[in-house]
A and B are shown apart, each in its own frame.
Chain A
């Protein structure tokens, strides 16, 4: 079953054609990465799916329900999180989550408290006093609090530190394991590659490729990573050279070093 399906979906803003004839299909239970540079049409596609803006042509379906500006039913089981999602700064975390929780029929206060605890959020703090990362955690809980069957994430970890990114990804994976479908756009390609089962590439408002993880792997050169100890490092390099095997030397990347230093702090 396709959780998201679009047929020739288009959107124009005046003379600008933001997306053209988008045909995508997102299978149930998958994490699909939606990739493209700024202005490619990722957010526009998501905004049409969420009914924030109307399509200029074509049609879109969520759970076989036609998407439209006024159709609340289509997004009944959808959670949405965007980068820098706006929240009311005057309320406490608990008040904000209670309000958004009560907008849903199946509000489960215990579930929300558990999520907040898992993310290390202090429910008593005012939203206005939170850091960007903690605000985004609140927005993530807002997206998840109704236990949605579909999560639409528009660059959710953009601007967040790697620790928070890792936490987000852990929770997103957990949701997928519980049966949810995730449609995510991100500029952080390493994150998308690690997280996603399927990939859709969009360029200048048009879909240029849609592939699974296996298809992506089949089309690329296989790379083996060897992490030698300082003692046998020279021996391995010599062996590779002797056998005329091409290799690339890479020092430890900054992200893994950073994670090594700080991940315990977050546990």
Chain B
């Protein structure tokens, strides 16, 4: 077998340590008592959890986490459903009309929806979607459709059509065809779509902060930002809040990291 180069292993270790540094500082800061003014580089030699207790209570994190889960799961389901069925005719029937529709969806990949914030806000007020989880879900779904349709259309085009023809001749209806034949084949790309869109939705701040202003509707990021502007001086609380806010997605990432990295690279290579 190939020889191990210890120089490279050491370099890899140094790179890891540099990249972990921010998390180390986050940890020392969040475990430090309010009257401990030692440097952030120094780890506290005691166990102190008040920061976490206070941050959890004041930022109302339990409700925020529930809201976050509802928004992310709801959006994810709708994205997969609406995105996959929309891509089917776009991939299989490349009429001039369908090419144009595909072009409209994909061109929106480039331009961030944040640019239409002002009129969008007015529109959400008009349809009663302000401070409603369904309101933000519809927004997330819409803004995730371009990447979803792009990935699904590319993937469906690469599946041989003979498979579907055979099923049609056997008398399967189009819907049966879609759910029994196509859906199972779409599993890998569905995983990519879910990872690419749901991470953004889970972490979203720029839209949630506008459209979920009522406290009962706050998601994690919105709850934290409100909490931070209020308790600016309690740096330990802020750190503990950040710590707690980052934990759920970090755990998911560490368990499923193979899929995260595959999802990103396969999504990128298709592009």
Partners in one complex: no
B interface residues with partner A (beta carbon < 8 Å): none
